[in-house]
Amino acid sequence: MSEIVLSADTDRVTGTRSSRRLRRASRIPGVVYGLSQDPVSIDVAWADLREALTTDAGVNAVIHLEIGGEKQMSIVKEIQRHPVGRDVTHVDFLRIDPDQDVTVDVPLVMVGDAKAVTDADGMVDQNLFSLTVNAAPDSIPNELEVDISDLTVGDSLRVADIALPAGVTTDVDPEETVAVGMITRSTLEAMAADEAAEAEAEAEALAIELEGAEDGEGAADEASDDTGDDSDDA
């Protein structure tokens, strides 16, 4: 993938009013820090920032900030948004060393067909949607696949089941649940209704059987009485 270069200005005045003026001019205020260097207040063009963050790497894209004619390798550490309009209001960049691992959150994507679950009218419930990993800047995965093909109802996939690329590690508990095969509420309700109907049918059949047995005993008693009467007449 080609290098992502983002030009940044450093002559902005910090403060709320200045930031508002920048945003009206379609520029986003920000800061770059890290690698034991002093933080630097910057601003970048919103259109360029949006383009930089819409590659396959998403927010984990390695961005070369061009500041004062020099490039600084960085990643976006935090994006602040307006609470209502959700417009980007500020962005933090973290300087990174190409020879040192960085810690980022990578999206988890389920792949495969959990046939054993769907055949049981169940569903796969995803509990974890991203995984915090450590990787070299040029080895950050765009996403991590979670294969659910062999998942069954009542079974679960854990962090330990995720195949990490070479050189990528995670400090997340390997026993943490990623996805679970489960029966849906509607299926459970349908099963309960079927069981209730079956129990009712069995109860009705038993009642009919008992009623038939009682009728049979009554007929036998009447026959016995008739036989006794005939004997007395003789």
Q: What angle do CA 198, 204, 207 make, to 5 degrees?
A: 140
What mean pLDDT is predicted for residues 202-207? 70
Contact 29, 41 (CB under 8 A): yes
Percent of the chain residues topping a pLDDT of 90: 64
Question: Residue 126: its pLDDT value, please?
Answer: 95
**pLDDT band, residue 217 (cuts 50/70/90):** low
CA–CA distance, 77 with 61 (Å, rounded to integer) = 11
Beta strands in 49-101 (DSSP E): 63-67, 70-81, 88-95
DSSP bridge pairs for 180:
125, 156
pLDDT mean across residues, the chain: 86
Is the Cα torsion angle 220, 225, 226, 230 positive or negative in sign? positive
Query: How far apart are the C-alpha atoms of 191 and 197, rounded to whole Å?
Result: 10
pLDDT the model gives residue 18: 81
Do the beta carbons of residue 175 and residue 159 sit within 8 Å? yes
* pLDDT > 90? residue 32: yes
Q: The whole model's pTM is what? A: 0.74
Q: Which CATH class is domain 4-96?
A: mainly beta
pLDDT of residue 194: 63
Mean pLDDT, residues 42-57 taken together:
94
Mean pLDDT, range 88-106, rounded to an integer: 95
**Number of Cβ atoms within 10 Å of the Cβ of 29:** 24
Farthest-apart Cα atoms in the chain, separation: 133
Query: What is the CATH class of 103-183?
Result: mainly beta
Q: What is the pLDDT of residues 139-172, one digit of tens each?
A: 999 999 999 999 999 999 999 999 999 999 999 9
Q: Which residues are CB-contacts of 114 (< 8 A; sequence separation ≥ 6)?
A: 124, 148, 149, 151, 152, 181
